[in-house]
Each structure stands twice: as C-alpha cells, then as structure tokens.
C-alpha cells in the first residue's frame, strides 16, 4: 500500500516546479497604495531545484537594488505547497501555504508575515500562460473585503 507521504507522491507534487527552473527576465509594477502611481523595475530571477527536486530556490535581483530569496516545496504533513520568502525591504520572514490548479496552471499561496508589529496576510497568485510566460500578482485585503493588486510581475524566460 502506498503511503500518502511516499517519495513518489512528493516527487509528483514537486514536479510542478520544473516549469519555473531557469533564468527569467522580470518586469514589475508596484502600487504602494490604491490610486498611487506604479513604481516600475526590471529584474532577473534565477530559479533552481535542490534536494532531488524537492525544493525550488528563487533568487530575485532588481535594477532598483531590491532583492529577495524564496524556497518553495511540498509539505506532506499538510498536503499543501509551502514556501518562505525574505527580501531587502522586510525584516520578517514571510511564510506561505498554497495550492496548484493544473486546469488553469495557477499556483496560489496565502502568505503571512509581520509588518510594523502586526500580522499581515495576503495572497500570491502565479499563472503560467500557454507561451510559458508567468504572471505573478500580490493581492492584499482591503477593508471593504475586496483585494488590491499591490504587485504585478511578468516573467519571460531568458
């Protein structure tokens, strides 16, 4: 009988990260708040897998000086994707839990971090388009129960 945390099942779950491996050019728009003009930058994201493919390592470096580092994988205990992110603008680590929708080729993470003494939760949605381009959206909750798209990044393979 196959154990739910078997190596084969973990390998199948993390195979989704293979599409992310490589070097990517990124064009990012950051909207600091609703109605404010976008801050734009270009970046390079270098992504690789380690641990026999179990983990995706993301290194993101922007021409603005911003940089970030993420680690993503599969958590057999929860049956969900997991991730952590640190960057040059935050002093707290961001922790994520997510799901993959193969029909829409969309990875959705719910992310939590500490910011100015309070816990902040937001959604991160990355869709892989037919041509391989990836569109990342960072969506923060609004007081009216809607969401505000704070960050949008379009990734194109180099």
pLDDT of residue 2: 44
Asked if 42 contacts 61 with a C-beta cutoff of 8 angstroms, the reply is no
Digit-coded pLDDT (tens) for 98-143: 999 999 999 999 999 998 899 999 999 999 999 999 999 999 999 8
**C-alpha–C-alpha distance, residues 5 and 14, integer Å:** 12
Q: What is the pTM of this model?
A: 0.93
Mean pLDDT across the stretch 15-20? 96
* Sign of the four-CA dihedral 132, 95, 150, 146: positive
pLDDT of residue 138: 97
**C-alpha–C-alpha distance, residues 118 and 138, integer Å:** 19
7-157 classified as CATH 2.40.128.20: yes
Asked if 84 contacts 71 with a C-beta cutoff of 8 angstroms, the reply is yes
Digit-coded pLDDT (tens) for 30-69: 999 999 999 999 999 999 999 989 999 999 999 999 999 9
């Amino acid at each position: 009988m196959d154990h739910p945390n078997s190596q084969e099942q973990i390998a199948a779950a993390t195979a989704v990260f293979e599409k992310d491996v490589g070097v990517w050019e990124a064009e990012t728009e950051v909207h600091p708040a609703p109605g404010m003009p976008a801050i734009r930058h270009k970046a390079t994201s270098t992504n690789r897998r380690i641990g026999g493919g179990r983990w995706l390592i993301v290194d993101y470096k922007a021409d603005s000086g911003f940089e970030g580092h993420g680690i993503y994988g599969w958590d057999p205990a929860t049956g969900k994707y997991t991730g952590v992110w640190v960057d040059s603008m935050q002093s707290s680590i961001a922790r994520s839990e997510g799901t993959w929708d193969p029909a829409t080729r969309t990875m959705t993470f719910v992310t939590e971090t500490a910011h100015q003494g309070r816990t902040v939760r937001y959604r991160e949605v990355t869709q892989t388009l037919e041509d391989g381009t990836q569109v990342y959206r960072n969506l923060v909750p609004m007081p009216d129960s809607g969401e505000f798209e704070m960050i949008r990044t379009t990734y194109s393979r180099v």
